[in-house]
Amino acid sequence: MTIVAIEPATPERWADLERLFGPTGAYGHCWCVYFRRRAKDFTASVSCAPPERGDSNREALRRVTLDGDVPGLIAYEDSEPCGWVSVAPRKDFVRLARSRSLRPTDPDEPGVWSLVCFWLPPRRRRKGMGSQLLDGAIEHARANGGRILEAYPVDTAGGRAPSAEVYTGTVRMFQKAGFTCAPHPGSGRPIARLTLKDD
């Protein structure tokens, strides 16, 4: 397993994040703002003419980062950015509140953070870096006042594999890290939760 440093995506690391995501914004011009933007705004950014595709998504992530609201963590190996996890207070992800399958059962529950996405370049996958990023996300949320960390994994028990490009993690991955996984009461989709601080 490659040992990496995990650092918050702060303003001085914006260039590293931009380099890691590359010209397609990690995957499909997303720039990891799918859960941060209203559906119509995100769709407009990825369905416009190719020269502008993803520009407003990139600008949304840039604005969050440069404003000092850490949108996630960057993995580094030998000072080179090599991986990403999106983790922040749940309230930052406006699309979760509107989602039929992931809508919080208690939207006013205090201290809930959400982990919504991992991204690794193809050559970095299947080397344990996702688990290192998950460990970093747990510690980051805890250190910044998180009481609960919530995630939205893919259930691979039936043979369904996560996307090779971008994914939210697997149920097994979160269970190994101590999360409890249960079906969402409205949709049945797995929700993983970890208590970071006791009341």
Report the CATH number that the domain containing residue 137 is assigned in CATH: 3.40.630.30
Distance between CA 45 and CA 199 in Å, rounded?
41
Q: Find all residues with CB under 8 Å of 71, minimum gap 6, and list them.
A: 9, 32, 36, 61, 64, 65, 86, 88, 92
Model pLDDT, residue 3: 65
Q: Which residue matches tokens 């043979």?
A: 159
State how many domains the chain has: 1
Mean pLDDT of the chain: 89
| pTM of the full structure | 0.91
Task: Compute the average pLDDT of residues 80-101.
Answer: 93
- Residue 75 sits in which domain range? 5-195
